[in-house]
Structure 1
Amino acid sequence: MRATRIARAALAVVLVAGAAACTSTTADPVPPPSSAPVQHPAETLTALLQQALPNVAGKTFTSSIVTFPPNARAAPHRHGQAFVYAYVLEGSIRSQVDDKQAETFRQGQNWIEHPGAHHVLTENDSATEPAKLLVVFVSTTGEPLKVDDSHP
């Protein structure tokens, strides 16, 4: 009989302790999933050469290296009335211009952008490796080479 009372008391302690643990009000509630947009690192541009074209009045030749860290994405943008040539030096870049289908360009591949084109997507295709582009602009002298879309 004594053993039965001890077993019942032990069971009661376990049940009370378990119930208290399940209904504890001191634990922090689990936060809801974040609805904030994912932030991607930005690209960096390093100018190599900028030279007025001697035989084309009002036009400038500019070459640059654009580096994309892993997961980097450029804001949608335009290059004004510049003609743009991009060559992938390292890694792979996903690119979409105007309403054309997005394409992935790998090391050694290239593309062009016509004056006035809207570059809606430019991103490093890798989450672990950087990517680099050689970008050449033929632009109107004095105009900015890149203008990001305005945010509403």
Structure 2
Amino acid sequence: MAYWLFKTEPDTFSIDTLAKAPQQSTFWEGIRNYQARNFLRDQAQVGDLVFIYHSSCKVPAIVGIAQITEGAKTDPHQFNPESPYFDPKSDPEKPRWIGLTIQYRQHLPKPVTLQAIKADDAIQELALKKAGRLSVMPVSEQEWHYLLAKSGVTR
């Protein structure tokens, strides 16, 4: 099992949106960064756990957990001219963009804020600190358990 952090803007899609979705599940679409796409396509697997991180908001923070329930599939929005995720250069025979399905697992008892993460020397290697603008990033097992503890989750 691997661990991930997926960023989302809560005004667009939040942990609450995921929790209220049918079967508490959604296709995670709209990834338009090649490195993030490659993580989803080449490394993310069914069963992996995901921190949901709210960005571009008053208090950016890790707020919940989801799990990958279906692997990488073509993101159909890239072919829809009406979609904000439309990519006129993407070829249906060789699509550029993919997504995967995640399912809600839980809200964190206490969100772990970006401010707290940046101030914490125990997680210097966390990708969020190094590649803060990336929308999908790996989290090590040690970082995962450390952040869970910071959020008040007990094993």
Q: Tell me the TM-score normalized by structure 2.
A: 0.26
Which structure has the larger Rg?
1
Q: Which protein is richer in strand relative to its size? A: 1
Which is helix-richer, 1 or 2? 2
Report the TM-score, using the length of structure 1 for normalisation. 0.27
Q: Which has the higher contact order (CA 8 A, sep 6+)?
A: 2
